[in-house]
Structure 1
Amino acid sequence: MAALTRKRNNESPVSMRESFVLVLASCLTVCGTAIDTITIGRPVQDNETIVSSGQTFKLGFFSPANTSNRYVGIMYNIPGTTVIWVANRDKPVKDSTGILTIAEDGDLVILNGERETIWSSNVSKSVASSSAKLLDTGNLVLTDNSDGSTMWESFQIPTDSLVPKMRLSAGAKEKLQLTSWRSPSDPSIGDFSAGFHLFRPPQFFVWENNVPCWRSGPWSGNTFIGIPGMSSAYQSRLDLVEDNSGSTYFTYNSVNNPALFYYSLNSSGCLQAKVSIGKGDWSVTWSSLESQCDIYGKCGPFGSCNRLQSPICTCLQGFKPRDEEEWNRGHWSGGCIRKELLKCERNQSSSTDAKEDGFVRLPNMKVPDFLVLVVISEEACGSSCLKNCSCTAYAYYKGIGCMHWSGNLIDVQHFSYDGADLYVRVPYSELDKKKDTKAVTAVIVVAASLFIAVSLYFCWKRWAKHKGKDQDDQVSLFEPTYNVENMVNKTGDRAKLGELPLYTYETLAKATDNFEPCNELGKGGFGQVYKGKLLDGQEIAVKRLSNTSGQGIEEFMNEVVVISKLQHRNLVRLIGCCAEREEKMLVYEYMPNKSLDFHLFDSDKPSVLDWKKRVTIVDGIGRGLLYLHRDSRLKIIHRDLKASNILLDKELRPKISDFGLARIFGGNEDQANTRRVVGTYGYIAPEYAMEGMFSEKSDVYSFGVLLLEIVTGRRNSNFYYHENELSLLGYAWKLWNEKEAVKLIDAAIFVPGIEKEVLRYVHAGLLCVQEFAKDRPDISAVLSMLNSETSNLPLPKLPAYTRRLGSSVSDSSSQRVDSINNVTVTIVEGR
């Protein structure tokens, strides 16, 4: 110890007391991860954390993205900041002087630098000694040390996240709901809440200012029947519990690792299930708002929503639009009315000979809201409804029983699978139509069956005749081959492929560790993308198209042929392809920084894209598009330009990818027409969506949407959850006209002095998204606008899809099948 107090190398002497403090601090630093309890003598300073005993959760101060405010939160103990609970969400500490400690009266409190109480657990009783422990469930529990009783726990005041063992309830004694953050940078209570409505049977809701905006459908005892695939797709088990005190609540446990799965209600009102994929990254496995049909009451009374149809809203059988003109314009909120009165509603003197009403069966339905349970058998469910003139529909579901509806049928949706059989009451005339339809259908089926049988016979004869030919020339009727060599040899496309390598399935399987999930870079409607490494050490990205993907062999070959001919620094490079064992795979150069949407729209991570980087990205995308439209020997229209199709290399340089939907134009060809409209919700030009017409101006429109998204950091396709405007375009147009466009700048990139340059980018973006294609500049003119500080830009005209601002939020989707998760969609039959 004497050595510690000896002066050496001109240093000040260190006292024994100071030495002890240093040793203690060193010990606490080394052993800090084992501390899970807060006491009067052991508070949590701003730069400290406590960690639960199983190392699953930690508690400490944090700052959300784009703000220096400090909050106390419970977080997953993994890289990054994944917050599941916030204490002082409405009153932040403004600097790093905050402290979380136990007060003299036993309360858990947050103090600022002036030792003012910012937040308190507000325990009613005063105790001599208490302590707060962070459990491995993520629950922070305040305990009276004298008797071991629980005084307070964080699970009693949920914020925006639901973790295993937590509970939500809506009983008279206890009401526990999730409440969203105000914004990704502000954890104060937002406009959205989520919880259970415990009328029998219970349903889960998301409300916006107490108005429903999403509904789960009724609880069957195992699943919510308004969520397709819940029984198989969910990684958790939900339970409805009634305890001895009379409280009723829902809780859940993860099937696999409870530490790696949780639910969160984001600031846009979307409830999401998230699973950890390692290194602090989370994958969204389910979302409450996967399409426009998930919005509560989307199609109005007696309307049914089907995400796979265009338009998505139709009237139930026996009903017609309340206002035909408004309905055809995509304003569906008014709903539908009966075409003809029911027998029991007519004047009795004129209906003595009328036939009885009946029911039409609608399979795979999300049943309407406002159901009434009737305790009767399945056999009696329908007859009981028929006897009651006010009963408009019924359904019977195992685990729930007989459900009746009276009055309007609201929030009805048709699923491709799951759901319930809904029986809707209609006049007898509608039943006759249904019977006639069945008869016609039966005749068609019989005729078609005969035709198929005859065709198969002649095909078999032809196959038998050529049986002795070489095996490569045989084509199996029932086992089609997708071998690339066979395809290109038969179609004459071998010359188009040039020297593009054709990889075997075994090569790509070995490169990706047999497509190991941990190597998955991303996924979408097309399938999955995996990181891999070839035997020579080259890193690759393998796009493995799903058999259920809308991108078939035509799109696969299109991308192979198109991109193999293109060489530009802002286009992703196709290395090779594979089509064996009914697999279709494309091999690209590996992009270590993922896609642009990952960095723009992921509110859980601090943005690495400052304004200078975003300018470089915009310029790179524009130059890649200019090459496609003007500078390459092939004039190519991409048709699916969006943030998720812009990949970033290790220097964050952009590269345009995914040419499965691209079209090659002839030398004198400026536009084309198609009856198969393809693209992604939020990026499709109006002339393409409405009439099937596309040109380079269609790509310019998509570029304009992308430009506004890069400036604002907000996604156009689900912007309506943030504002009352129809889209980001409508909001930008509104602020532009109010000379408030500076409000569009993403808070993550704002620094004084960039306003003028950003406003020029907004101006150019609005010129690109004008409603009529002839008014939009070409991409070379856009690049000139962005790179010139002196040019006077023309005034923009009204953007597309904004003529109907103030009406239903989904006007822009009236001609499209849309996709909240930004997956490419195909619209059958553009008009």
Structure 2
Amino acid sequence: MAMFLLPLIIYLTSFSIFFPSPSHAADTLTPSDTLRDNQTLVSAGGVFELGFFSDLISGNHYLGIWFKADAAKVVWVGNREAAILDSSGVLQIRSGNLLLSDRRQLQVIVNSANVASSPNTIATLLDTGNFVLKEEDTDTVIWQSFDVPSDTYLPGMKLGLFGQNTTQPSFHFLVSWVSPQNPARGLFTLTLDQANSTKVVVWRGDGRHMDIAFWDGHNLRFIFDNTSSKNDYNFSYHPIGEEDAYYTFSKGRYDLMWFVMASTGDLDQFFLLDGNIWSISHRLCEDFAGGNTGKCLSSLPSICENGDSFSVMNGSLPSTFNSGGWINMGTSDCETLCKSNCSCTAFVSVQNGQQVCQLYYQSRKDLLKIVKKGPGIVYIRGGATSSSGKYKIIL
């Protein structure tokens, strides 16, 4: 197999940044149920768990799915751009739809891409890691998490292009996290090439992209594969007329195998066998077979004196402060805007019914004088010196 023939880093993974909630045995959410921060759903076979998790850096809470045996392996996030600031999150079924809300009355319809027309729905977490909303009487699937992946590609997921010649085309693709601690949409996107759907492409935020795999008529060949070895990924390619084209794969000889589009620009591959999880990190280089040529599709180096890392401080800017108000932009969008201008000292993402991005361009010293105490978060350029994370808390 290719992974044993190439000089890749194989490592056991161990993380402790997430704090998932205690669980109970139920795998299904009904209209009479509410799922709160101290509750979870567990798939029937005990493989996956769904609930709220938080991180040590920002304290934000997210609806997610993770491995029951390893809560640090989050495979899906339902509110990447609408973080809950505390433990007040509630998931319930209202009018047939999955509604996520918090104490601020922030309401997000999780299945907004496919709104239910019937009020008689239930949502079940499957042992595949798929969270399915369906009509209780007919078993008709209305929405499923597999159709809106985050950064993780699990067996059975369809990665591809759908309805290309219709008025409502859809895309199933992976988007990296901003950082290992921040599940908002990051810099790297893995998808199919629209011009040639047999190719798998990774795009970076600056528009640069590269082909990382192609269909040779029988197998999907990655750039990090030894093409003389037997393909061990069990991928299949499904072109359906001119409308749809997608890839899917099975777990192969492992108990489970999956891919993650990492925030660093690497493609991480995970394996579960006999209860043990290990992974390989594949660097995306344009000439992998010839060695590292320095043309890898990795994170861009900062051109700013204070770098592109951000410290975090609990608090908020005064309500009278209105320097650069950008509407309907999440945390990752605010960060991208701030990074694009080295004069940007800090940014704040305000989510009170409407996502507003505020950019701060004055001195860091003056900023610290006007920050108000409170539950919000101010992201300040510089000071994040930890190699294990992107943000460092300012005390």
Identify the TM-score tier after normalising by the shorter chain.
0.5 to 0.7
Q: Which has the higher helix share?
A: 1
Q: Which has the higher strand share?
A: 2
Corresponding residue for 2:385? 745
> CA separation in 1, counterparts of 2:381 and 2:187?
24
Letter in 2 for 1:242: P
> What's the RMSD between the two structures over aligned residues?
3.7
Corresponding residue for 1:418? none
Whether 2:189 is the aligned partner of 1:205: answer: no
Pick aligned residue for 1:256 from 253, 258, 264: 253
Give the CA deviation at 1:276.
3.6
Distance change (3 Å), C-alpha of 1:728 and 1:722: farther
Distance change (3 Å), C-alpha of 1:284 and 1:125: closer
Distance change (3 Å), C-alpha of 1:55 and 1:745: same
Greater Cα radius of gyration, structure 1 or 2: 1
Letter in 2 for 1:100: L
Give the CA deviation at 1:92.
1.0
Distance change (3 Å), C-alpha of 1:65 and 1:271: farther
Give the CA deviation at 1:292.
7.2
Q: Which runs of 5+ in 1 are unaligned?
A: 1-28, 295-304, 314-332, 334-717, 754-831
Whether 2:27 is the aligned partner of 1:32: answer: no
Give the CA deviation at 1:727.
12
CA contact (8 A) 1:166 1:252 kept: yes
> CA separation in 2, counterparts of 1:117 and 1:86?
16
Q: Which runs of 5+ in 2 are unaligned?
A: 1-20, 310-341, 344-362, 365-379
Distance change (3 Å), C-alpha of 1:268 and 1:38: same
Give the CA deviation at 1:223.
2.9
Letter in 1 for 2:301: N
Give the CA deviation at 1:218.
3.1
Pick aligned residue for 1:247 from 244, 247, 250: 244
Letter in 2 for 1:69: N
Give the CA deviation at 1:156.
1.1
Give the CA deviation at 1:742.
4.6
Q: TM-score, normalised by structure 2?
A: 0.65
> CA separation in 1, counterparts of 2:47 and 2:110?
25
Pairing 1:301-700 to 2, within 5 Å after superposition: 306-307=290-291, 312=293
Letter in 1 for 2:144: E
Pairing 1:88-107 to 2, within 5 Å after superposition: 88-103=79-94, 105-107=95-97
Pick aligned residue for 2:70 from 79, 87, 90: 79
Letter in 2 for 1:32: H
Whether 2:114 is the aligned partner of 1:120: answer: no
Corresponding residue for 1:139? 130
Give the CA deviation at 1:120.
3.0
Pick aligned residue for 1:229 from 226, 231, 254: 226
Corresponding residue for 2:58? 67
3-state SS of 1:137 partner? coil
CA contact (8 A) 2:213 2:220 kept: no
1:92-143 deviation line (CA, Å, top 9, x unaligned): 111111111101x111011102544144312434322111001111111101
CA contact (8 A) 2:97 2:109 kept: no
CA contact (8 A) 1:46 1:60 kept: yes
> CA separation in 1, counterparts of 2:280 and 2:38?
34
Pick aligned residue for 2:266 from 249, 265, 270: 270
1:739-797 deviation line (CA, Å, top 9, x unaligned): 999523336894556xxxxxxxxxxxxxxxxxxxxxxxxxxxxxxxxxxxxxxxxxxxx
Give the CA deviation at 1:248.
1.6
> CA separation in 2, counterparts of 1:109 and 1:70?
15
Whether 2:155 is the aligned partner of 1:155: answer: no
Q: TM-score, normalised by structure 1?
A: 0.33
Distance change (3 Å), C-alpha of 1:59 and 1:741: closer
Distance change (3 Å), C-alpha of 1:125 and 1:44: closer
> CA separation in 1, counterparts of 2:394 and 2:23?
44
CA contact (8 A) 2:64 2:74 kept: yes
Distance change (3 Å), C-alpha of 1:195 and 1:65: farther
Whether 2:217 is the aligned partner of 1:186: answer: no
CA contact (8 A) 2:179 2:390 kept: no
Letter in 2 for 1:42: D
Give the CA deviation at 1:307.
1.8
CA contact (8 A) 1:64 1:184 kept: no
Letter in 1 for 2:291: R
CA contact (8 A) 2:42 2:125 kept: yes
Corresponding residue for 2:36? 45
CA contact (8 A) 2:266 2:281 kept: no
CA contact (8 A) 1:204 1:217 kept: yes
1:128-168 deviation line (CA, Å, top 9, x unaligned): 21110011111111011232211111111111000000011
